[in-house]
Amino acid sequence: MDNYSAQGSITIKRLRHGDSLFITLQTNNKPLYQGVDPESGAVRPDWTQAANQPVITPVANTIRGNTVTLSQHTWYYNSNSVPLSFTGATSGDWVTDSSGKFQLNITNGALKIIANLASLDNISNDSLMYKAVATVGGVEYDIEKSTDILIQIVGASSYAGFIIASTEQLTSTVETATLTTQLQLSAEPITDYHVKWYKDNTEWSAKAGQKVITVGRDDVDGTQLFIAEFYKKSTDTDHVYRAGIRIIDTRDGFQVICYISSANKEVDTGSPVTVAAKIVNQRTNAVVTPSTPAWRMDVMKKSDWSVLKTANANTIQVTTAETDTDGTENDVEVTAECTWSE
């Protein structure tokens, strides 16, 4: 009897010839985070300084390792309808946008943030959306991927933790990913802290206390969420921050695909959204229906990766009870995992 496990929450485009396309946004070891001093309005880190500027690079691969060419690079800032207009000054491969806040690398589609986005007037998280055309084997596919920029008021107890991955996609040639943690207090890096690691909500005790870990294909079933809990000391019982990151095994034979199955696509008062999950064989594109699947779906709070709601099924409903927390309206993330035997 063979035992299987798969997990997923990402959007996967279906390709012809039994292939699948994966898209992630890779940073240059600079967290997408800014803190604002409530008294002076000073922003840290200062993204007007070249040494601090984040660069976000789109990375695309397929399960069969076919060559992916990205073109028609388009970025959106806090909007899915109005793209950034890169009509400013050019320096090498970089072109500045009309707002003076971003630069586009015309060669690989990378986006560099060159101005401070946080301010006393902007203390809520921002978002970036990347859209492009991926060409595989002469066939074009529209792809997109979004990421958040964490913005917060900083004070004496304002912690922020991050996981920086050397890669977010494991392939036939890149078989491991290095996950490096960073912890900041009042937007300043600190080095003395303790980390607990989790795979989803299961503690990975073998990695306890390690600020840097290596994960391989055996640690990833299709897509795996890794969570780091940050503590001031190893003896503390309360963490100061939680951060999460997903690693994809592009060579895994199975993926769990999450999709909105309800007619309603966005959560509103009295209008819930139903998210469903299915198992797909990545090499045949066929939906797999095990006879005895063990499903778990979680609605997770993106700010701290805490679980808001759980269902032991392949569907779960998201309502305003999950999205409207802490007095604000928030996006949530739905994850799904299934284990089965054949």
At 297, list the tokens.
Answer: 């779906």
Same domain, 145 and 18: yes
Task: Return the closest-CA partner of residue 279 out of 332, 223, 329, 334.
Answer: 223
Same domain, 333 and 299: yes
Look at residue 94 in the predicted model and tell me its pLDDT. Answer: 98
Look at residue 17 in the predicted model and tell me its pLDDT. Answer: 58
The mean pLDDT value of the chain amounts to: 91
Q: Read off the amino acid at residue 330.
A: N
Q: What is the tens place of the pLDDT at every residue in 1-37?
A: 444 444 444 444 445 556 788 999 999 999 999 999 9
Residue at which a domain ends, from 117, 149, 181: 149
Q: What is the tens place of the pLDDT at every residue in 134-188?
A: 999 888 999 999 999 999 998 867 899 999 999 999 998 999 999 999 999 988 8
275 — pLDDT class (breaks 50, 70, 90): very high
Q: What is the dihedral sign for C-alpha 245, 140, 73, 70?
A: positive
CATH number at residue 142: 2.60.40
Pair type for strands 315-318 and 273-281: antiparallel
Asked whether residue 122 is domain-assigned, the answer is yes
pTM (2 d.p.): 0.85
Same domain, 230 and 268: no
pLDDT at 219 over 80: yes
Same domain, 247 and 258: no
Look at residue 79 in the predicted model and tell me its pLDDT. Answer: 84
Q: What is the tens place of the pLDDT at every residue in 72-117?
A: 999 999 987 899 999 999 999 999 999 999 999 999 999 999 999 9
User: Is the bond into 45 cis (omega within 30 degrees of 0)?
Assistant: yes
* Count of C-beta atoms within a 10 Å radius of residue 247: 23
Same domain, 29 and 145: yes
Range of the domain at 260: 254-341
